[in-house]
Amino acid sequence: MGTSPQRIALRLQYHGAAFAGSQRQPNAPTVQDALESAAAALTGCWRRVDLAGRTDAGVHALGQVAAITTTATLPPERWVRGLNHFLPPAAAVQAARQVPLAFDPRRCAQERIYRYLVRLAPERQPMWEGGAWAIPGPLDYDAMRQALAQLEGEHDFAAFAGRPSRPGTARTLREASLWESSHGVGFRFRAPSFLPHQVRRMVGQMLAVGRGRADPAIIARLLAEPRTGAAGPAAPPQGLYLVRVRYDLAELEGWDEDDEDICWTPG
Question: Measured at the alpha carbon of residue 117, what is the angle toward residues 230 and 66, in degrees to the nearest 5?
Answer: 85
Q: 135: number of CA atoms within 13 Å, CB side?
A: 19
Question: Measured at the alpha carbon of residue 30, what is the angle toward residues 196 and 105, in degrees to the nearest 5?
Answer: 60
What residues does 115 pair with on adjacent strands? 188, 241
Rounded to whole angstroms, the Cα distance separating 233 from 200 reads: 8
**CB proximity list for 159: less than 8 A, separation 6 or greater:** 201, 222, 223, 225, 226, 227, 228, 229, 230, 231
User: Catalytic: 56?
Assistant: yes
- Element holding 37 (H helix, E strand): helix 31-43
Active-site hit among 33, 56, 104, 248 = 56
Rounded to whole angstroms, the Cα distance separating 156 from 227 reads: 9
Q: Which residues belong to the active site?
A: 56
